[in-house]
Amino acid sequence: MVTIDKYNFQGKKACVRVDFNVPLDKSFKITDETRLKACVPTISKILKDGGSAILMSHLGRPKDGPEEKSSLKHVVQWLKDTYKTTVHFADDCIGNSAVTLASALKPGEILLLENLRFYKEEEKGDEAFAKKLASLGDVWVNDAFGTAHRAHASTAVMGKFFADKVCGFVMQAELDNAEKVLGNAVRPYTAIMGGSKISDKIMIIEKLLDKVDNLIIGGGMTYTFVLAEGGKIGKSISEPDKVELAKAIIQKAKAKGVNLYFPVDNMCADSFSNDANKKIAAKGEIPDGWEGLDIGPESVQIFKKVVEKSKTILWNGPMGVFEMPNFAIGTNAIADSVVLATNGGAYSLIGGGDSASAINNAGYGDKVSYVSTGGGALLEYMEGKILPGVAALS
């Protein structure tokens, strides 16, 4: 695999698959710049070398062609402000505007293409569509780790049409940091798994049972484990059909000598609302009509002690409904502990998605070892799956 630091872009037009899938508010202002900022080193390297960058990405999930809320034109001003260069915008990623602007692109300039997913061919991995995109440039740079698990036209298929294929800085950093928790991690090694469903995390949990010393389970998936142990969960989210799976995980952890930690208490609400009535319930004792929306104060203290003694930490998934301030206490407390452990010399990887949002919202993005932008791609990589976007670079 050719890494970007080993490639000279002098006089080249680089087709760069970036991940600009950023959240926009109702007036189409960017509300989280994390993914845009992540790509700055890759794009800057291309421009500094004397090359030009043709940026391509998706945004949102458009269903039937172009729509205002999914247009990448809302990113143009950010690019102008950041790179202080000429930024062109093609309103059709494979149309006449893209072809004309790409052919006239000068070294040091940027061309941003409109949302790739305005064409259904992108997600279908259509070769003819990929070939049209590829015809715009001389070299393919893949820096979109967040979509590397998809065999889409721009994330994988495009690689067929280039002799020169380059791994961007984001992609390289994601792979390098994933290896730090997959390889010979420094012990004690603690994984913190949150989120609502066991079914989303089962493969990574099973993989981690062969690697970690401690596994902390939080979030909505907790309540399926409580069901497996015969406890009461009120109206908390759960997967009753995964109870046997939960029992099997408990047994596997015991067999492998992994310390498995569940919340011993929960912060409960009488409705799914930040303003709901709240009370603390012990594990397995949530009354009817109430639901667990966060871990409780006793659980926070137990989890904090485990995290703060760790030397390697992987965190994927919040401890509760952290979008509601009244139920973000557990997630924020874990964030504090991860930062404290990192300051003490631990290696900490925050595994994309909600965990990345939580750590960034707390202002800790630069106080942990690495915040992945990967989400599903990171999980699949850690599960041992081959990612099409990575394989296409080899």
What are the residue numbers of the active site?
35, 197, 353, 376
Three-state SS string across 356-379, please? HHHHHHCCCCCCCCEECCCCHHHH
Cα-based distances in Å from 118 to 27, 66, 270, 311 = 20, 5, 42, 45
Q: Are 74 and 131 in contact (CB under 8 A)?
A: no
DSSP tag of 254:
H
The alpha carbon of 282 is separated from its chain's Cα centroid by a whole number of angstroms, namely 32
In angstroms, rounded to a whole number, what is the distance separating the alpha carbons of residues 252 and 262?
15
Q: CB–CB of 66/122 below 8 Å?
A: no
Bridge partners, 324 (sequence order): none
Cβ 38 vs Cβ 46: under 8 Å: no
| 279: nearest Cα among 290, 288, 289 | 290
Residue 145 phi, psi (nearest 5): -60, -35
Helix axes 297-308, 329-343, angle to 10 degrees: 20
- Rounded Cα distance between 39 and 324, Å, is 30
CA distance 257 to 2: 40
Tokens of residue 114, six digits: 């409109």
Q: Give strand pairing partners of 313.
A: 190, 348
* Interatomic CA distance for residues 275 and 325, integer angstroms: 10
Q: Residues in the chain, how many?
A: 394
Nearest-angstrom CA–CA distance, 20 and 271: 35
